């Protein structure tokens, strides 16, 4: 095996499997034991207890602040996240306590550096344990921020040239022999010309067919991240390029153009996919983004060739847009979405404003005969599964053509990446890519 192959193998090592989590637990146990060995017996009896209790108290206070005061997330964090947080704080506290009571460690540079490395390893294992809950970074490569998909500058993704003025219908388009085997990802800003929404840079997946001459008018999937989240989440944890390239390989290089816009305006911001004092997110996603895409990319302008989807709070947003703007997004994917938009302070106690943006309320009082959607949820997602099932039934009662897909897993990218892969055949037919 070459050094390049060995490096690729190491980069592709999974870090969220059961085996990886077991390794994190073992390293953590050894690391914590190392940090408490060979210190004064009195410190072990008194100091160790104090440090443990202090670490638990710090994390408990942080949890109260996060869940009750700051509330940056739409949902409660799982208990396992706080357990790993206690482990990380404990490692730092044990290191500090050891340096205080054992002067020899401070006077020996190698010993001090070794103990610092042990504490750092425990903190990294704690981060790995938290990552395993959501599977946001599934491999060493993704943890290090190294992409394994093709990228192109945005100039290569501009709209059609004069040579593609006469494009054959999508159903009869024939791919050229030199068609790329994979699509590519580009990035660019999508301004909020109408909404004035301040959005982060968007990512865009372009299928192989987009690089053909002439190229066909392609359908569009607007795909939203959760919260906290960013526009590259679907590329990293969601395996977007892998799924789309696989679909394109079986469909003449055709797949949707996937636009990954910023629907929140920041990693910890949450405007709830509505127009409010926190930003006009709904107008941005339903007016600015479609207008920009139609202007700058070669796409099918017909709304029937457009879909919106998302994971977690992004799934909630997708269903909100499908029920408030069905003329823009008549097709949707709600993956592990919430029962309703949260964060009551955005609506300021205005029940009517809440009802205008609550999918359950809208589905109960309106019909959507031209809309269709897919609901996806993990079989072990005890917090979200019931809500997804109820919303799927309500959507069906409101005249939507919907289905529910259940996949193994809980509330994580394991579910969302598998869910997108399972939904692609249906989505391809719905958007006109596969007429079979």
Q: What is the pLDDT along the chain (436 residues), one digit of tens a residue?
A: 566 667 767 888 999 999 999 999 999 999 999 988 876 666 667 778 888 999 999 999 999 998 888 877 777 889 999 999 999 999 999 988 777 766 665 667 787 788 899 999 999 999 999 999 999 999 999 999 888 889 999 987 765 554 545 677 888 899 999 999 999 999 999 999 999 999 999 999 999 999 998 889 999 999 999 988 999 999 999 999 999 999 999 999 999 999 999 999 998 888 999 998 889 999 999 999 999 999 999 999 999 999 999 999 999 999 999 999 999 999 999 999 999 887 566 777 778 888 899 999 999 999 999 999 999 999 999 999 999 999 999 999 999 999 999 999 999 999 999 999 999 999 999 999 986 5
Cα–Cα distance between 300 and 302 in angstroms, integer? 6
Scored b (16 or more CB within 10 A) or e, 37-57 reads: eebeeebeeebbeebeeebbe
149-430 CATH, one of 3.40.50.1820, 3.90.1010.10, 3.30.300.30, 3.40.640.10: 3.40.50.1820
The answer to whether the Cα torsion of 159, 161, 166, 168 is positive or negative is negative
- pLDDT recorded at residue 162: 45
Half-sphere exposure of residue 417: CA atoms within 13 angstroms, side-chain side: 20
Spatial contact of 180 and 210, defined as CB atoms under 8 Å apart: no
The answer to whether the Cα torsion of 356, 358, 361, 364 is positive or negative is positive
DSSP lists the bridge partners of residue 407 as 378
Bridge pairing between strands 275-276 and 257-260? unpaired
SS3 content of the chain, % helix, strand, coil (to 5): 50, 10, 35
Rg of the chain in Å (alpha carbons): 25
CB count, 10 Å around CB of 183? Answer: 25
- pLDDT recorded at residue 160: 55
DSSP lists the bridge partners of residue 14 as 139
Burial class (CB in 10 A: 0-12, 13-18, 19+), 92: middle
Q: Which two tokens stand for residue 83?
A: 């357990």
Cα–Cα distance between 243 and 239 in angstroms, integer? 6
Residue 244 makes CB contacts below 8 A (sequence gap 6+) with: 183, 205, 207, 255, 256, 258, 424
Spatial contact of 179 and 251, defined as CB atoms under 8 Å apart: no
- pLDDT recorded at residue 270: 87
Range list for CATH 3.40.50.1820 in the chain: 149-430
- pLDDT recorded at residue 107: 63
- pLDDT recorded at residue 167: 75
- pLDDT recorded at residue 106: 61
What is the longest distance spanned by two Cα atoms in the chain?
Answer: 84
DSSP, collapsed to helix, strand or coil, labels residue 427 as helix
Burial class (CB in 10 A: 0-12, 13-18, 19+), 74: middle
């Amino acid at each position: 095996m070459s050094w390049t192959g060995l490096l690729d193998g190491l980069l592709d090592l999974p870090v969220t499997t059961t085996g990886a989590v077991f390794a994190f637990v073992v390293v953590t146990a050894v690391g914590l034991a190392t940090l408490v060995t060979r210190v004064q017996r009195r410190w072990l009896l008194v100091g160790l207890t104090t440090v443990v209790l202090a670490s638990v108290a710090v994390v408990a206070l942080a949890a109260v602040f996060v869940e009750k005061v700051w509330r940056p997330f739409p949902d409660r964090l799982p208990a396992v996240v706080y357990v790993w947080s206690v482990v990380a704080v404990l490692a730092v506290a044990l290191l500090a306590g050891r340096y205080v009571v054992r002067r020899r460690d401070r006077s020996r540079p190698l010993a001090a550096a070794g103990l610092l490395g042990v504490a750092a390893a425990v903190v990294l294992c704690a981060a790995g344990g938290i990552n395993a809950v959501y599977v946001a970074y599934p491999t060493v490569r993704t943890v290090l921020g190294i992409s394994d998909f093709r990228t192109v500058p945005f100039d290569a993704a501009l709209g059609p040239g004069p040579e593609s003025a006469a494009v054959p219908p999508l159903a009869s388009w024939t791919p050229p022999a030199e068609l790329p085997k994979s699509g590519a990802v580009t990035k660019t800003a999508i301004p909020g010309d109408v909404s004035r929404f301040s959005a982060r840079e968007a990512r865009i997946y372009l299928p192989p067919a987009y690089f053909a001459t002439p190229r066909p008018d392609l359908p569009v999937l607007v795909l939203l991240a959760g919260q906290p989240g960013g526009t590259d989440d679907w590329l990293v944890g969601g395996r977007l390029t892998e799924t789309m390239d696989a679909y394109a390989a079986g469909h003449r290089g055709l797949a949707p153009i996937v636009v990954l816009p910023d629907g929140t305006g920041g990693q910890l911001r949450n405007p709830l996919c509505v127009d409010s004092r926190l930003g006009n997110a709904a107008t941005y996603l339903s007016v600015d983004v479609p207008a920009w895409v139609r202007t700058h990319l070669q796409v099918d302008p017909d709304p029937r060739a457009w879909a919106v989807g998302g994971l977690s709070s992004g799934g909630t947003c997708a269903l909100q847009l499908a029920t408030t703007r069905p003329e823009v997004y008549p097709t949707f994917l709600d993956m592990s979405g919430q029962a309703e938009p949260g964060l009551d302070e955005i609506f300021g106690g205005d029940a009517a404003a809440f009802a205008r943006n609550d999918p359950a309320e809208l589905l109960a009082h309106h019909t959507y005969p031209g809309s269709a959607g897919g609901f996806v949820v993990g079989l072990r997602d005890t917090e979200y599964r019931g809500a997804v099932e109820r919303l799927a039934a309500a959507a069906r009662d409101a005249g939507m053509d919907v289905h529910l897909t259940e996949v193994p897993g809980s509330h994580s990218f394991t579910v969302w990446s598998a869910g997108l892969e399972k939904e692609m055949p249906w989505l391809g037919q719905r958007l006109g890519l596969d007429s079979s």
